[in-house]
């Protein structure tokens, strides 16, 4: 996996506009790259069919058919909904090298992606995403 950062976000707001739109805990994760505590997120164990959108801008990020049980404490997906849905960049905080996942539309922090962990998924990747960064839009009829 080669980390890349895309061009200018399509959704651009001032810091004040983000603060007004997002609840303090949403802002801390989405705009300040925070992390919610494990096993506390709304979507950690959700099996509902639908599309997971960016809570900040509404861009489609992941689909429920790529969500899997990793037992890590956060929702896990093996692939974004579209190859252009997310951006990846190197993160060297916390004394380790990780790959940060950002919404391609607004550059909000979503979580991190890991690979080579041995999960039986088609991509051998685990997009470990904060529930608070997502909004699930259920499929009609669910």
pTM above 0.85, yes or no: yes
Note if 128 is an active site residue.
yes
What gap in Å lies between CA 99 and CA 115, rounded to an integer?
10
Q: Roughly how many angstroms between the first and final C-alpha of the chain, as a whole number?
A: 35
pLDDT of residue 83: 81
What is the residue extent of each domain of the chain?
15-138
Of 71, 97, 67, 98, the C-alpha closest to 80 is 67
Of the candidates 54, 57, 103, 128, the residue annotated as catalytic is 128
Per-residue pLDDT of the chain (142 residues; tens, 9 = 90+): 445 555 666 888 999 999 999 999 999 999 999 999 999 999 999 999 999 999 999 999 999 999 999 999 999 999 999 888 999 999 888 788 899 999 999 999 999 999 999 998 999 999 999 999 999 999 976 5
CATH 2.170.150.20 fits 15-138, yes or no: yes
């Amino acid at each position: 996996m080669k980390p890349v950062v895309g061009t200018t976000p399509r959704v651009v707001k001032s810091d004040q506009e983000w603060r007004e739109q997002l609840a303090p805990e949403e802002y801390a994760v989405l705009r300040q790259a925070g992390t919610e505590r494990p096993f506390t997120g709304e979507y950690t164990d959700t099996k509902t069919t639908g599309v997971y959108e960016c809570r900040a801008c509404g861009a489609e990020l992941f689909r429920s058919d790529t969500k899997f049980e990793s037992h890590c404490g956060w929702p896990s997906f093996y692939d974004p909904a579209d190859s252009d849905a997310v951006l990846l960049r190197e993160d060297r905080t916390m004394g380790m090298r990780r790959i940060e996942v950002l919404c391609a539309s607004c550059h909000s922090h979503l979580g991190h992606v890991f690979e080579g962990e041995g999960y039986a998924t088609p991509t051998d990747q685990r997009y470990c995403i904060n529930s608070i960064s997502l909004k699930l839009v259920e499929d009609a009829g669910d």
